[in-house]
A and B are shown apart, each in its own frame.
Chain A
Amino acid sequence: MTNIPFPAPPADSAEVLALRTEFRAFLDKLLGHRSPRLRSDNWYGFSREFSRAMGQAGYLGMTWPKQYGGHERTAFERYVVVEESLAYGAPVGAHWIADRQSGPSILKFGTEEQKQTILPRIAAGELAFGIGMSEPDSGSDLAATRTRAVRDGDLYRVTGTKVWTSFAHEADYLILFCRTSGTPADRHQGTSQLLVDLRNTPGLTIKPIIDLAGQHHFNELHFEDAAVPATNLLGAEGDGWNQVMSELAFERSGPERFLSSIELMYQLIAVLQGREDEAALATIGRLTAQLAVLRRLSRSVAAMLQTRENAGLQAAIVKDVGAVWEQTLPDFARQLVDAEPDPRTAAAYAGVLANIVHNAPSWSLRGGTREILRGIIARGLGTR
């Protein structure tokens, strides 16, 4: 039988329940004043101040060893903090990528010096990271990367272009996926990852890419013979493909893959107060059932990560099913409530709806498109 196993997540321990209560109170205290519209930015919100507060309170690098500034807590405790942050619409952008994937990649592949200099600062909420994977001619087909790093004494000379780099104009570092030998025809061979200092790399220029919502998250990065110290090589030269796949597994596994539009659910429920409409209640019930099951699947992935099982296939399923949930929510809302979405209004419902409709298309693109994920799942089923 071909059922892809999702082990039952353990029941919440007393520590986990206490952490949830404690962290909700932390969010209320720091962020209770923010509007629904701001909350609906979800993990695109960026606040250095909030990230530093998270770090000071011990909510970043939670599972990492204490010697690198971590807190040696369980994958489940981290899961609670991550999902409560998202459900609250906290502005997590200044630590999101670093805590989720860059830090874990450095912990897994980095040198002792890299771990000691970078990880404690991520855990303190002081370092923001960007993702350096996509290129103008290499999106889903990551192995076609053209950005090239050539060794020159104790430097790498980097030439090429990266795109869709969220927060590059604000962040401190980037993990750059690039080619260190051979040609794009060599595919997975000859690729590597470099740590790039975004604030202090001669030859690097960063230009904004404005999205259709008029917002500036994305950037285009031009490297022109840019000098990166050779000590910034992450992991082994030539091992970039395995490393970047490992990084993507961190990127795809979390609850951010179905909670992007959760604020719209709250506002829909607010609008439905006092309305005794059976069809509307049934729709809310069905959506809630779907959400509860997604959350269970996602916690199951967290359980697998805790025991260090490879959860790449399960994560792809959660992201695929989850993106459908978060993307179709505005359509269900539109069947229940008449409202013209307005991106500039102060009205909660119309403003949140506008922000969600504007941003929803990106949710089945980022972190692996729907088509790529379904290909991964099909391969897991043994079809190719």
Chain B
Amino acid sequence: MLAEMIQRLFERSLGDSEQAQAREGQWLPGLWAEIEEMGLPLALLSEEQGGFGLSAAEQGEALRLLGQLAVPLPVIETMGANRLLASAGLELADGPAGLARADHLVLQGGRLTGTVERVAWGEHLACLAIAVGDRLYRVPATGWTLAEAGSAMNFQPRPALAIDWAVDASAPLPHCPLAEGATLRAFQIAGALEAALDMTLEHTATRVQFGKPLQKNQVVQHELAKLAGELACATAAADLAGEALTRGDVLGVAAGSLRAREAAGNGAAIATQMHGAIGFTREHRLHLYTTALWTWRDEFGGQVHWATLLGRAARDAGEAGYWPMVTAL
């Protein structure tokens, strides 16, 4: 039901020209207004929190769909920020929002200062949910200035923001913004890979070389099978991370997030290769997905961060404790 609404909204209001604007760093105010009108920023909240009270499966479907549509706005970031703010008992976001962990920020004399790096669409946000140590801060847009421009692999903005804010809204941290963001990115990655597989099947069915469609070649079929495997892994990885986030298991989030990040790279490579040269252009829509995959796989803690965290836990579990650790993920 929510999925159908999302599908209808973006089919109507998100086309190639909007994608081109976003690629130039231009904010899409009309589309954002429609997103707010639908209530999407509240989609991950329970009914008591003023949200939709969706099941895990419904949440996953909606999140994957946002990836599948390559939505060029910080929708999932706002959803994640709201889940953190609601869990902490803080006021919800009053517009597009971001979430970050920034332990290097300094709290002195009731003011929070320092720089938060690479915030998606930072200059257009209404507020940020920032974790410093074991507290969550709700920083409004008046609490920061633009420090430095930055861009993601899909050319959407990732500026650094200089925070200077008299703290008036904070609470104990319910869970880590990196875990929240990494989990949501895993769902987006799965959705984008779904779109990439569809495009690759379509292209290899219609592109004829040597007198037959590309996908009648066994070597092409085997690459398609591998892409389907990466998609299956990414989808299961996102679900695994989502369940782990719900029960507060950071190792499960690490496992799910890591496998989704890996699938992003593997899947993008296969899809591009199977498209031939057209997949390397902006003329084909595949680039919206490959460049998004190359963006999302390195955000909210990098691969090394999550892999060493999980690897250290595995090493510490030891020879006999390793398998029980795996079955608990």
Mark A residues whose CB is within 8 Å of B.
Answer: 1-4, 6, 8, 20, 83, 87, 262, 265-267, 269-270, 272-273, 278, 280-286, 288-297, 300, 314, 317, 320-321, 371, 373-375, 377-378, 380-384
Contacts and interface: CB of A to CB of B under 8 A. Distances in A.
Nearest to A289: B258
A288 B194 contact: no
A269 to B, nearest CB: 5
Which of the listed residues A266, A284, A293, A371 has the most CB atoms from chain B within 10 Å of its own CB? A293
A206 to B, nearest CB: 36
Given A267-B319, A285-B310, A293 B237 contact: yes
Nearest to B226: A374
A281 B322 CA distance: 13
A285 B232 contact: no
A291 B221 contact: no
Contacts of B215: 378, 383-384
5 contacts: A2-B198, A282-B304, A293-B259, A320-B225, A378-B222
A381 B327 contact: no
Contact of B239 (A8, A284, A374): A8
B326 A288 contact: yes
A265 B322 contact: yes
A281 B307 contact: yes
Contacts of A265: 322
Contacts of B308: 278, 281-282, 285
Contact of A3 (B194, B237, B259): B194
The secondary-structure label for the interface of chain B is helix
Given A280-B311, A300-B236, A289 B221 contact: no
Contacts of A280: 311
Given A265-B322, A269-B314, A4 B228 contact: yes
B222 A297 contact: no
Which of the listed residues B57, B204, B235 has the most CB atoms from chain A within 10 Å of its own CB? B235
Given A262-B323, A289-B310, 19 more contacts: A1-B195, A2-B194, A266-B322, A269-B317, A289-B237, A289-B254, A289-B258, A291-B326, A293-B236, A293-B255, A295-B329, A297-B236, A320-B225, A374-B226, A378-B225, A380-B228, A381-B224, A383-B205, A383-B221
B307 A285 contact: yes
A270 B320 CA distance: 9
B228 A317 contact: yes
A162 to B, nearest CB: 28
Contact of A293 (B220, B222, B256): B256
B68 A1 contact: yes
Contacts of B239: 8, 296
A380 B306 CA distance: 34
